[in-house]
Amino acid sequence: MGIPIIRTVAALRSAVAGWKAAGQRVGVVPTMGALHEGHLSLARAALAASDRVIVTLFVNPRQFDSPDDLAAYPRTEESDAARLAPLGIDLLYAPDPDQIYPPGFATTVTVAGAGEGLEGTFRPGHFDGVATVVAKLLLQTGADRAFFGEKDFQQLRLVQRLVRDLDIPAEITGCATVREPDGLALSSRNARLAAAERAVAPALAAALRKAAAAIAAGTPPEQAVATARAGILAAGFDAVEYLELRRDADLAPAAGAVEPARLLAAAWLGGVRLIDNMPLPR
């Protein structure tokens, strides 16, 4: 039996109203589709913590800073629905574009602080698009709890700040990054790597893990970061956009292992931009 697919806000709210009237807690997993095991792990976490679960699928044009990147993003609704169906997801919300951005739409949500630096520096406007669409999806679904992966760690912190600042009654839950056996963080972009590039890609996570362990053991962060950056490039990456140590709680620059912190990085490999992060071992 296939998963029900809803495309309008009115139909979505009607379904959710029935669940809420029965006292059921609703979980939501926002996605842009091209689902992989990382997304499915979020869906399983939502199922374990909720009475009803919605997965959203919307390729949000406002969070792409490159028209070519938007055009290249895979649209795989049929296969995504087939992957979700065995899990017992209650519905897939795949809204028509005008349900998210109706004619005359003129509002943009900006989250200062959490959206600045790192991705915010190299993808200007990206987090405005993320914050705007997430706010809309949380309000449209009426979810009690939303689930986001830690791979996009800055995004996770931004969404947590968004719901606090706007009093959106949804709890934001971060879920651990899911990795391939060789350490590469799962991402829809991985499918765009050529075979030779895919063999190089795990070097990003390996360098972050080694640097995190070194900092925790007392190596000065500047030294560990420089060594990691050099190792990533030596492995075959084309460029490292950023590699920084930030505090877990608020993404402010971290001085070292004296507080919960993690390394965050973005690097280019064969025309594909990969991001990852690694917490310092405690």
DSSP letters of the chain? -PPPEE-SHHHHHHHHHHHHHTT--EEEEEE-S---HHHHHHHHHHHHH-SEEEEEE---GGG-S-HHHHHHS---HHHHHHHHGGGT-SEEE---HHHHS-TT-------TTTTSSTHHHHSTTHHHHHHHHHHHHHHHHT-SEEEEEGGGHHHHHHHHHHHHHHT---EEEEEPPPB-TTSPBP-GGGGGS-HHHHHHTTHHHHHHHHHHHHHHTT--HHHHHHHHHHHHHHHT-SEEEEEEEEETTT--B--STTSSEEEEEEEEETTEEEEEEEEPP-
Residue 250, pLDDT > 90, answer yes
Residue 72, pLDDT > 90, answer no
Among 63-77, 179-193, 226-240, the range scoring the smallest mean pLDDT is: 63-77
Catalytic residue list contains 39: yes
Q: pTM here?
A: 0.96
* pLDDT tens-place string over residues 47-57: 999 999 999 99
Predicted confidence at residue 258, as pLDDT, reads 87
For residue 240, what pLDDT band results from cuts at 50, 70 and 90? very high
Average pLDDT over residues 42-71: 95
Percent of the chain with pLDDT over 70: 100
Average pLDDT over residues 64-84: 91
* pLDDT tens-place string over residues 181-233: 999 999 999 999 999 999 999 999 999 999 999 999 999 999 999 999 999 99
Residue 74, pLDDT > 90, answer no
- From the list 31, 38, 39, 109, the catalytic residue is 39
Predicted confidence at residue 1, as pLDDT, reads 66
> Average per-residue pLDDT in the chain?
96
For residue 68, what pLDDT band results from cuts at 50, 70 and 90? confident
